[in-house]
Amino acid sequence: MERLILSLLVQPRNLLRYHGLHFVTSSLDKNKQVLKAENEKVLAADQQKEEKRAAEINEALNEDKMNGNRVSASVAYRIAASAASYLHSHTKSILRFKSSKSAPDENLHEEIDNIDMINQDIASLMATTDSVTAVVAAKEEVKQAVADDLNSTSSSPCEWFVCDDDRSATRFFIIQGSESMASWQANLFFEPINFEGLDVLVHRGIYEAAKGMYEQMLPEVRSHLKSHGGQATFRFTGHSLGGSLSLLLNLMLLIRGEVPVSSLLPVITFGAPSIMCGGDRLLHNLGLPQSHVRAISMHRDIVPRAFSCKYPNHVAKFLKAVNRNFRNHPCLHDQKLLYAPMGEFLLLQPDENFSPNHDLLPSGSGLYLLSCQVSNVNEAEKQIRAAQDTFLNSPHPLEILSDRSAYGSDGTIRRDHHVKSYFNSIQNVIRQELDYLRKAKKEQRHRVWWSLLEPRGVNGGIIVHGPISSGNEGRGQFNFSGVFRVSKESLKRCSRLVASQPMHLLVVLLLPAKFLILKTYSLIQIH
């Protein structure tokens, strides 16, 4: 059903009409092409087999005529064998026979059945926990088989779509979140390995999946560069697992020399798990600013917390015992987490009627950016990391999972992670900001009119007083000098003035929301 909705949403006429984008292609189209090619091969092979069988039967009948219309035992056997071969070749792809010796793990079922649970999703969680243990502790040949399956170019763990903005020569790559079994396979395969041969560790399963998608998307990257040359730009974005894949694909194109740094726009992720240890150092080594990665997380979303929360000592000891890749894992050893956030960390708080406000954020909906006003860069980074750590452990994923209301289609886990929740919340924040800008502009015009009737000061500047965003009274007020206009320049000016306020460690509303995500938020509805 979800794929049907996707195909309806990503209609070329809808993209062009509502978003000004031209649809280019998608993984669905690519898979159709691969399936068509495979079917043609199968049909050709079947045709050859049928022709061979027909020739054998004709030969048998001719032999039968020579023997006086008597069907010999050898002729009957050849005809029966030919028919059996034909039936087998056409039924093995439909019927999946299992050995009678294979049986489910009775101990696992007994453990699950003996637990007093109301919601069956909790039983699924228990089974998933066993799956995680199996993947992490598996032998290398088994893990390599999983890796080969994930980085296959004939399939994708997530659906993806490519669209063009002809006005800016920008090609958008939008990647869907976790849905299929392959995507969960990628999530569970979380051991650390080196990324692109560099001294940075990455989530193996997601990296393996990115390798296969890279080969699928590369022709679309090259064709865009060929059409637009140095003017071509690329925007990668995605929700959940799709956001993590977007980040890796963006960096892989740069590291492998396919795309110049000037052509890569910042990656914007929504509810994506952290998947790197040493990610900020990698950005620095590649000559990229931290703003190249803008990770937007819903205030109570469990997914961004999954790999970046504090892990108990016994969990760390277990991982190190069953998998040697964790024994020298700096994030687990030094920070008690699997993977650290990288880039800019933005917090999205929806309306409190949808989800309760977070205790560490001001009341009301908004998009917030962690920022530290300390002159010493190292000290500022240290304090920001401490703030991120506090937020990602409040609430801790175990606290979320211990609540029975977290499960099911109406549970808090789905509510705070679903792509529609992100879309609606961002849409609400942008609507608030635009309302505030209109209100401020109206007030500014009013002040200009009255200033014509009053003596002007030496500077003659216009001062607009008001809260950062509508609906957020009580957060404190800021003064903005200069003519307030709805433009990129005025938005940038406002953000600089807000950031210059004398606060030691502040969480401020990201004013240039339109500049950052106005184009992207309208795209996430398609996945």
Residues tagged active-site = 240, 301, 417
Residues whose CB is less than 8 angstroms from the CB of residue 523 and which lie 6 or more positions away in sequence, other chains included: 19, 21, 163, 172, 174, 237
Question: Which among 278, 434, 256 has a CA at the least distance from the CA of 343?
Answer: 278
C-alpha distances (whole Å) from 60 to each of 47, 76, 83, 255, 504 are 20, 9, 14, 64, 93
Rounded Cα gap, residues 280 and 276, in angstroms: 9
The string of DSSP codes covering 194-226 is ESTTSS-EEEHHHHHHHHHHHHHHHHHHHHHHH
Q: What kind and span of H or E run contains 516? A: helix 513-521
C-alpha distances (whole Å) from 24 to each of 16, 209, 233, 449 are 11, 22, 15, 50
Rounded Cα gap, residues 213 and 150, in angstroms: 9
Helix crossing, 27-66 with 2-9: angle to 10°? 120
Rounded Cα gap, residues 71 and 52, in angstroms: 20
Question: Which among 290, 264, 312, 319 has a CA at the least distance from the CA of 377?
Answer: 290
Tell me the three state secondary structure of residue 341. coil
Rounded Cα gap, residues 248 and 242, in angstroms: 10
Single-letter amino acid, residue 328: N
Strands 267-270 and 233-239, bridge-based pairing: parallel
- 281 and 368 Cβ atoms separated by less than 8 Å: no
Rounded Cα gap, residues 435 and 75, in angstroms: 86
- 302 and 330 Cβ atoms separated by less than 8 Å: no
Strand blocks (E) in 57-168: 160-165
* Cross-strand bridge partners of residue 481: 463
**What tokens appear for 518 in the block?**
């106005």
Single-letter amino acid, residue 286: L
Residues whose CB is less than 8 angstroms from the CB of residue 86 and which lie 6 or more positions away in sequence, other chains included: 49, 50, 53
* Cross-strand bridge partners of residue 236: 173
Helix crossing, 488-499 with 513-521: angle to 10°? 120
